[in-house]
Structure 1
């Protein structure tokens, strides 16, 4: 076991090249309809799988074991950028080797880049005796999100690392608040089209009417209060976005119908997951979540777009790694 002796003096127990840790970072839902860039929650499925290994070779080596043809140059890779940030604060570490298997499709809207960035820093931290706090790990992982979208944001990374529902009160300085939530079932449909996060950001309005901002603030406050109180009706009433969704939904064929049919099937509500194209819906029980999945499938089958559906619950435990 590697143990931190004195972080302030950067004096650690010796590190053994070849030591490796495995992590399975989950998908996440960001924004949660009205909480653009500030709210997110973790899913139990799907998950990526990554192994991070201590190396005597300086820098970051990346091996991809999937078909997404992601960059292997660390500075251009989401995981690589996050690990480079961690290395900056780890003067006793020569290098790290990453073997990555992506099961969360890039561009899906369920936190693929966040899973990559969060997973590798959690695994590396496990190798280093957990010398860094969860807040430190979010800070490192945000460098990966910047590679993916051009912007450092933590609404996917924070729930991936912390588990559960998280509120990003501030990025500068970083201030993350974990929010208790009642049991919730999540149905996510991923139409097989691509919406790049950077593109989805470019189409957003730069100015917002005050009346819309006031309505959005009320929905955010209501959603957080609904989670904390376990008030399902309040959660459902608050899952409304008057600023982002009206713009981004035009990029997702069938969006309005999926939302309408899902609520008719019993969903509390939902909307675009992250920047899309995935759409998520929250339900009180597993049976309703299954009914919502059927409704989603019927819409996309009829309009002729391939899709994947995931049914999950909110993952409440923090992300952890294990030695291999």
Structure 2
């Protein structure tokens, strides 16, 4: 049995406009690393956290890495001990699945140490417990794509039913991360508690259209379906430049845009890398005009998900 394993889990885009809490996809290269080491004493212990500016908790019942691992160990019946070192590659409160990437990487490493008793889909069940600690809601639209890679649909939560969706060739994503921070719990607090029948019908049609577009590699259908009437109308008010960016990318030929997770990062889908690069330039110009620095990342959809380094 190995004594120490280090794993990587990628950043993610959750919701994907119309798919609130049920759709997400993984990003290339950006992500977190976690090293898990077996120890003689029972229990979990966080021994190192780098890249968080000293803000993440070391307590095992508050850290997303240890909460996720503990859920798995409770199910497995393992009574030994593990030490966890977390290396953050993602900014906190960015809307890129920072807490989910930490939990996913931790689970992959710990699961490997145990001899891989669970497949990636089964690990999602444990990862959602970390999201409950991080933001108060056990949603899977970040942790599922971070673990599995690709585009993922959460069909149901009771029981958890996770489905991988096809990714059209040539589909690119530009992430624009303005130098703001939004807590997921705060972004959830501004959401409407009830929906009208009209909004529910519109949202259902767009979800069905987006999934159909992915299966048919129909970029035009994907573009028409990237519309959110549930979360975006209130959350967009928290992100300066959101609507200015949307106007700018329409002239470039992007498929559409939306809030990545709870924000403030904005994702833009494009039918080619060339368009995705033009979107990055346009985004930087939009945010420069309002005095905000922005980081731009261009990526295809990452189909690999979390893995052992």
Q: TM-score, normalised by structure 2?
A: 0.96
Determine if contact 1:45/1:310 at 8 Å carries over to the other structure.
no
Q: Offset of 1:177 from its aligned partner? A: 0.7
Aligned position for 1:33: 17
Shift, 1:93, TM fit? 4.3
Trace 1:1-16 onto structure 2 (pairs within 5 A): 2=1
Aligned residue for 1:99?
85
Secondary structure of 1:311 counterpart: strand
| Aligned counterpart in structure 1 of residue 38 of structure 2, from 54, 57, 64 | 54
1:114 matched to which residue of 2? Answer: 100
Asked which structure has the greater CA Rg, the reply is: 1
Q: Does 1:226 align with 2:210?
A: no
Match of 2:302 in 1: 315
Secondary structure class of the residue paired with 2:27:
strand
| Two-structure CA RMSD over aligned residues (Å) | 1.1
Aligned to 2:275: 288
Q: Secondary structure at the match of 1:237?
A: helix
Task: Tell me how far 1:319 sits from its aligned partner.
Answer: 2.0
Q: Quick one: distance in 2 between partners of 1:318 and 1:244?
A: 26
Do 1:30 and 1:39's aligned partners in 2 also have CA atoms closer than 8 Å? yes
Helix, strand or coil at the partner of 2:76: coil
Shift of 1:87: 1.7
Counterpart CA distance in 1 for 2:38 and 2:251 is 52
Aligned residues: 306
Q: Which residue of 2 aligns with 1:64?
A: 49
Write the deviation string for residues 254-309 of structure 1: whole angstroms up to 9, x where unpaired. 10011111222221002100000000001111111000000100011110012211
Give the one of 21, 24, 40 matched to 2:8: 24
Q: Are 1:73 and 2:25 an aligned pair?
A: no
**Any stretches of 5+ residues in structure 1 without a counterpart?**
3-15
Cα deviation code 1:60-97 (max 9, x no counterpart): 11110224321000111111111111121233341111
On the 8 A contact 2:44/2:60 being kept in 1, the answer is yes
TM-score (structure 1 length as normaliser): 0.92
**Does 2:99 align with 1:124?**
no
Answer whether contact 2:64 2:131 (CA < 8 A) is retained: yes
Contact 2:10–2:305, Cα closer than 8 Å, also in 1: no
